[in-house]
Amino acid sequence: MSFLLPFDSICIFLCAQVLLTWGLQELHANQETIVKISAAGQLMQCSASVDILLLLDGSYSIGKRSFERSKHFAGKLCDALDINPDRVRVGVIQFSSTPQLEFPLDSYLTKQEVKEKIKKIVFKGGSTETGLVLKYVLRKSFPGGRNSSVPEILIILSDGKSQGNVAIPAKQLKDRGTTVFAVGVKFPRWEELHTLASEPTEQHVLFAEHVDDAANGLYSTLTGSAVCSAVSPGCKIESHPCERKTLETVKELAGNYMCWKGSKRPNAVHTSLCPFYSWKRVLIKHPARCYRTTCPDPCDSQPCHNGGTCIPEGLERYHCVCPVGFGGDASCAPKLSLECGVDLLFLVDSSSGTTLEGFLRYKAFLKRFIQAALSKDSLANVGVAQYSNDVQIPIKVGEYKDALSLMKSIDTMHFSGGGTFTGKALRYVMQHGFKSAPAFADVHDDLPRVVVLLTDSESRDPVVEAAKYTRGRGLFLIGVGSDFLRAELDDVTGNPKRTVVYSNPQDLFNKIPELQKKICSVDSHQGKALAIDCSGVTVTAQGSARFKE
């Protein structure tokens, strides 16, 4: 894409009117594109032989606060310029009732010097005579500028409609080869900006509320005209639909009222209906096109795995924000591992008390836990059961050895609703959850058997005796649930150190490392003994096992 701009001189206007605090230009693009536009705007540098003269509106109508904002914008704009004696030179004029030269183009030769001098400019006050300062530039040209072979860029920061005529001097600037960019800030009067801007106006009218976006639009046009260096490889200039708004005060008929008027007859009056009007402020919309540069970033390839969020750092670097349980490398690889040998059965509450939302959250938690902790070399055998009035075991312990198949099977589990019978579920999984059968070929009798209860509702049946019965037959119980269920979960596990509670739904996912640690705190020892349960130590007929407390 190319934009034909005269090379001998370029003029940019930035007009600002600070009335309210919300923006008046909307770029119709997805959030990813908007982020890329902003990122490209921060990285752009115009490195060419160019003379730039900033005109700062220092009138009373803009006020001291908006004047400071204009200075800030001017400083940020300098960040995109390669300021040095042989490339970009910058000068500043403050204008109100009359122009005042703050410093010419040949005074300060580095970017830091120019920015520091802009910060020290003092607000003048006076009327807004934009036309007068345009005539000054026409007459005086650029103070300290170079010869006519160097493009001249004039940047005017103002609060909007001038008190004088701007059309004639603006046309004279354009007629002599000056390219005019009109950039509005806050509530600009877009009609006047289009009068100031060169054709095509859509490529030369910008909005400076978002500095990075305005810098991007300016750079995109200058790059297309070959004034600045070409964009980086892979970057491209694209046209996006956008909408600009103008705040206008309009008069509208509010109604009629009875009024009395004089009459030609003596001692008589004439009555009639007289209209009355109200004034209100409305936003007038102006559809437009916005031309912006976007560049590929390292997050396009989606380098962050397992739900990680990619944060670009320039065009080549990035970092991943990883979920809990991940971050084994820069791409959010699992950093946990169930390296312990256990037969592990998750018992998931699927009752009405947990609700469909809670059940889906538990499914998501199981998948995240499996992603984080179950590797292909894991010694653990995993199964999943769900319960409400009755108990189902859709995934038998050891049925799947790879995490992907296990997660796909979890996706097929459906919410059942009904009552919360935790005690009944505990007795059932003790009897049927770890059976030896062909489907359980990988389940070894000498591995500790661990049941992880996931529940968010109080049980309708007693849990104390059922839990003791289950623990007494060699099963380790770990309870995971909301904080208000702590007492019931302690009754289930028989030991508060085996209870995991979370304060809010999102906090559940933060408990993955804690749960992994509790599961793998079970040690397996060979030997035979009678099943007993005392002091938090369980010994089974298949072998002895204990929790590390």
Q: For the beta carbon of residue 304, count every other beta carbon within 10 angstroms.
A: 21
Nearest to 515 by CA among 362, 392, 393: 362
Query: What are the phi and psi torsion angles at 296 (to 5°)?
Result: -65, 140
The residue among 268 and 427 whose pLDDT is bigger is 427
Residues 6+ apart with CB under 8 A from 36: 294, 295, 297
Transcribe 485-523 into DSSP letters.
GHHHHHHHHSSGGGEEEESSHHHHHTTHHHHHHHHTTEE
* Under 8 Å between Cβ of 312 and 297: yes
pLDDT recorded at residue 537: 38
Segments of 417-469 assigned E as strands: 449-455
Q: pLDDT by residue (tens digit) across 108-121?
A: 889 999 999 999 99
pLDDT band at 252 (very low <50, low <70, confident <90, very high): confident
pLDDT at 176: 84
H helices within 352-449, ranges in order? Answer: 355-373, 403-411, 422-432
The pLDDT value given to residue 445: 56
Angstrom distance (rounded) from CA 350 to CA 391: 9
56-60, 66-70, 185-189, 436-440: which has the minimum mean pLDDT? 436-440
pLDDT at position 543 over 50: no
Picking from 32, 13, 26, the residue whose alpha carbon sits closest to that of residue 209 is 26
Quick: pLDDT tens for 15-57: 443 333 335 777 888 887 887 888 777 777 788 888 888 989 8
- Give yes or no for residue 286 having a pLDDT over 90: no
Q: Are 292 and 253 in contact (CB under 8 A)?
A: no
Within 13 A of 172's CA, how many CA atoms are on the CB side?
Answer: 13
Q: What is the pLDDT of residue 488?
A: 95
Nearest to 317 by CA among 297, 290, 342, 344: 297
Residue whose entry in the numeric block shows the structure tokens 């001098």:
117
Q: pTM value? A: 0.57
Residues in the chain: 549
Tell me the two tokens of residue 187.
């509530």
Distance CA 75, CA 171 (A): 28
Rg (CA), the chain: 37
Question: What percent of the chain stands above pLDDT 70?
Answer: 84
Per-residue pLDDT, 425: 96
Task: Report H helices in 202-264.
Answer: 211-224
Nearest partner of 413 among 388, 431, 434, judged by Cα: 388
What is the C-alpha separation between 72 and 243, in angstroms, rounded?
Answer: 25
Strand partners, 184: 15, 207
Burial class, 120, CB count within 10 angstroms (exposed 0-12 / middle 13-18 / buried 19+): exposed
pLDDT of 128 higher than 50: yes
User: In the prediction, which pLDDT does 48 show?
Assistant: 86
Decide if pLDDT at 505 tops 90.
no
The amino acid at residue 525 is: H
pLDDT for 521 beyond 70: yes
Q: In the structure, what pLDDT confidence band is assigned to residue 160 with cuts at 50, 70 and 90?
A: low
Please, what is the average pLDDT of the chain? 81
Please identify which residue in the block is written with the tokens 């198949």. Answer: 405
The span from the CA of 155 to the CA of 152, in Å, is 10
**Phi-psi map region of 418: left, alpha, beta (phi>0 left; psi -120 to 50 alpha):** left
Q: Which of 10-14, 142-146, 504-508, 542-546 is the least confident region?
A: 542-546
Alpha helices in 4-62 (DSSP H): 31-43
Mean pLDDT, range 450-462, rounded to an integer:
95
For residues 534 and 358, give the distance between their C-alpha atoms in angstroms, rounded to a whole number. 34
- Residue 285, pLDDT > 50, answer yes
More confident position, 226 or 16: 226
- What is the mean pLDDT of the segment spanning 190-194? 82
- Can you say whether residue 398 is alpha, beta or left, with left for phi > 0 and alpha for psi between -120 and 50 degrees? left
3-class SS at 92? strand
What pLDDT score was predicted for residue 8? 44
Give the separation between CA 287 and CA 28, rounded to whole angstroms.
11
Report residue 356: phi and psi, to 5°: -60, -40
Which range is least confidently modeled, 226-230, 280-284, 431-435? 226-230
pLDDT (0 to 100) of residue 320? 87
pLDDT (average), residues 4-16: 45
Res 52: pLDDT: 86
Higher pLDDT residue, 306 or 239? 239
SS (H, E, C) 173-200: HHHCCEEEEEEEEECCCHHHHHHHCCCC
* Dist CA 381 CA 338 (whole Å): 10
* Residues 30, 37: Cα–Cα separation, whole Å: 11
- Whether cis (ω within 30° of 0) applies to the bond prior to 200 is yes
The rounded distance, in Å, linking the Cα atoms of 160 and 208 is 13
List the one residue out of 391, 399, 380 whose CA is nearest residue 342. Answer: 380
- Residue 278 vs residues 254, 281, 285, 329: alpha-carbon distances, Å: 6, 10, 21, 65
% residues pLDDT > 90 (the chain): 31
For 152-178, the three-class secondary structure string (H helix, E strand, C coil) is EEEEEEECCCCCCCCHHHHHHHHHCCE
Report the distance separating Cα 429 and Cα 447, nearest Å.
Answer: 16
* Calpha distance 524→342 (Å, rounded): 8
d(CA 381, CA 375): 11
Strands annotated E in 208-330: 236-262, 269-294, 309-313, 317-321
Lowest-confidence region among 204-213, 360-369, 377-386, 539-548: 539-548
